[in-house]
Structure 1
Amino acid sequence: MRLPRDAWMQRAGVHQERADALTAAHRERAARGEKHPVWDFLFTYYGYKPALLRRWHPGSGIVLEDAPERAGWRWYTPAGLGDAVMPDPEAFRTEKPQLAGLVERMLRRTASRPGQFGCFGLHEWAMVYREAEHRHPAPLRLGQAGTDAVVEAHELRCTHFDAFRFFTPDAVPRNRLSPTRDSQPDLEQPGCLHAGMDLYRWAVKLGPLIPGELLLDAFELARDIRLLDMEAAPYDLSEWGVQPVRIETPEGKAEYVRRQRGFAERGAVMRERMLAAWLGH
């Protein structure tokens, strides 16, 4: 596909407006020096600044006509006569072979597995289990003893290394698995909230090979999942307008699983879109 300059410039402009709307509240807080215990995560944990979201790309193999300003952009290559260019997946794979292999494995293997829906978001509870000092600034809504009791009444089933690595020492042996960085491609599964949020990470890593619209879709998915992650967490976030999903109750568990399944379905579609945009299949 070839896009005339007017067409791709229009798409880039629409993309920038959407990106600005998605990051407006964060940028306003940052300008005032304010922190937010829920939404800052999308920018601090992943480490991607709002400006990155504004840059639109067409996706792998899509030719931008009359685009001399992009001739020197990373992983772009000339595409025929004039100043036409396109994102080149082979340039990415040549420069970043290990990353390319990792991202493809993570997307394909996660997509190939059934979702697991019995964790109930207890990873956040395991991060404060029997611990006097907590990384999160908000107080525990059940107190320390009540929080510990919830952990002890359940089996921990976390499959995601980047959550498991923050478990307290007493929580680690309570988990059914012992995820490691090396085992991540073998354990990641589509029911995991963090696996869904990480689709934003993979979209960023693929850079111009992923259409800008898909990047923002991945950011929106990460944003929506982050809210449930904190609603189901043990913290009292009422000061920030966050109402708890009380996963210590049958009703809370049912709500969590219902929404978790919805995110898994959205994530499955997004993995297919990423692979199709990047590799063409």
Structure 2
Amino acid sequence: MDTLAELFETHRPRLQAVARRILGAPAEAEDAVQDAWLRASRAGLDGVVNPGGWLTTIVARVALNMLESRKTRREDPIDDVVAEPVSPADPASAAVQDDEIGRALSVVLDELSPSERVAFVLHDLFAVPFGEIAAIIDRTPTTTRKLASRGRQRVQGAGIPDSDAGDRKDAVTAFLAAARGGDFATLLTILDPDVVLTSDAAAVLLGTPENLVGASAVGGVFNGRASAAIVSLVDGLPGAVWNVRGKPRAVLMFSVENGRITGIHAIGEVDSVDIEELPAS
């Protein structure tokens, strides 16, 4: 069994990414992750079924508190100037454009309430189910869905491209095809080297590991085993659904960055998410 310190270091990249997206400031994100470690170390792992989800919850709550404190102080954004997009004719230009999109997104997120911001970031960027986010922000799942929707509308209204939308569907489709075909080499190209797999308690009972990190380990779980899975919308995002006798038995939610899968969340409590047929392209 991994020690808490080992688990924390394994999940640190994702925790830092979550904190940075929520807070928008690298220094604050580092503080949030350090605070999360102190809280986790005091609490210990006893009774924790899903360490990755538990740590994400802790860092998200810390970041939410920091946002609320920031709003109380009424701090102004560091830079409210959004540069014009640059045509990505080469990798360097693409990197510049990605940075500008990130700055523009940060400006829009600064206009959201803390709860809206956390709900939108955790769901749309990190594919955390609404039921789990609701516990973090102390709202009902229905209200949490509405808060994330408001955030999404503000981002879309600002004209910021959702580069992950198409990437997520393409990545999920490619992932399932490679898994069905037992194409482990292709799985490794689709999965980020530091991809994280987490599972709720019901998914663990169905045989999914509660916590894995790394493309080889995660790819090995699904290699040759996804023949019954279909691409569907899970809480409004492209995911995978396993149906048994016409009823969903388990689902996967995916976080995707730059076309590669960075996180997979297995859910056995299918009643906690909304599942819809994915519209035809």
Q: Which has the higher strand share?
A: 2
TM-score for both structures, normalised by structure 1: 0.25
Flag the structure with larger Rg. Answer: 1
Q: Which has the higher contact order (CA 8 A, sep 6+)?
A: 1
TM-score for both structures, normalised by structure 2: 0.25
